[in-house]
A = this chain, B = another copy of it.
Amino acid sequence: MMTVHGMAISGNCYKLRLLFEQLGLPHRWVEVDSVHGETRTPEFLAKNPNGRVPVLELEDGRTLSESNAILCYLADDTPFLPADRWQRAKVMQWLFFEQYSHEPYVAVARFIRLFLSADHPRRTELPRLLERGHQALAVMEQHLADHAFLAGPAWSIADIALYAYTHSAADGGFDLSDYPAINAWMERARVQPGFVAQGR
């Protein structure tokens, strides 16, 4: 059985939980508290020298890091990662968009507001994070205004990756009420077979 080393409150880790549930794949979950240094122990760094969750560990001990790389690995040869070359390329486009243009703003704003004290110096980053996060949300909104899903005609790991931090964007101070297409897409997400809400 595969093991996920993850932190339930992390959107990057929730992505994996969602895909495992949607694939109906049994897995073991080992909770790792990255906020309190558990990703910096020698044992954890042996699994991921970059010191981040999630990490997927195969039964034979091989490990894979980077949430979206793990999604690609698990979704290979399933409908969550289309076989068509162009559609697969579009899934990849949204996965890289998520890690470069969305997560560093939407997820980091959430981290600062959920985990750092009210007078922490990193709070000064919030206005810029909100500005850049809204730019990413606007790109999603524009696309979803005339597409049901992000990449191709069906739900895919592109949707899973972007749902993970978009659905909890309010934690970071993002008001999503001006994004009707994103809200409609999130409703479609919640009725996908095997959907599970994020734990806390």
CB distance from A163 to the nearest CB of B (A): 18
A62 at interface by CB-CB < 8 Å: yes
A49 touches which of B62, B72, B139 (Cβ 8 Å): B139
Task: Name the segment of A16-24, A96-104, A164-172 touching the other chain.
Answer: A96-104
Flag if B76 contacts A93 (CB, 8 Å): no
Are A69 and B86 in contact (CB-based, < 8 A)? no
- In chain A between 58 and 97, which residues have their CB closer than 8 angstroms to a CB of chain B? 62, 64-70, 72-73, 76, 85-86, 88-90, 92-93, 95-97
Is A143 part of the contact surface with B, judged by Cβ < 8 Å? yes
Question: Which among B64, B73, B92, B142 is the interface contact of A72 at CB below 8 angstroms?
Answer: B92
Determine whether the beta carbon of B49 is less than 8 Å from that of A69.
no
Q: Are A92 and B104 in contact (CB under 8 A)?
A: no
Q: Is the CB of B86 within 8 A of A49?
A: no
Contact yes or no, A68 B89, CB < 8 A? no
Q: What is the CB-to-nearest-CB distance from A71 to chain B, in angstroms, rounded to a whole number? A: 9
Q: Are A69 and B50 in contact (CB under 8 A)?
A: no
Residue in B closest to A100 when the chains form the complex, CB atoms: B99
Question: Assuming A99-B99, A100-B100, A143-B49, is B69 touching A92 (CB within 8 A)?
Answer: yes
| Cβ B139 vs Cβ A96 within 8 A | no
Q: Is the CB of A139 within 8 A of B50?
A: yes
Minimum Cβ distance to chain B for residue A153 (Å):
15
Q: Contacts A64-B89, A100-B103 given; 10 further ones with Cβ under 8 A?
A: A49-B143, A50-B136, A64-B93, A68-B96, A69-B92, A70-B89, A72-B92, A73-B89, A100-B100, A100-B104
**Which 7 A-B pairs give the minimum distances between C-beta atoms?**
A69-B92, A66-B96, A73-B89, A69-B93, A66-B93, A99-B100, A72-B92
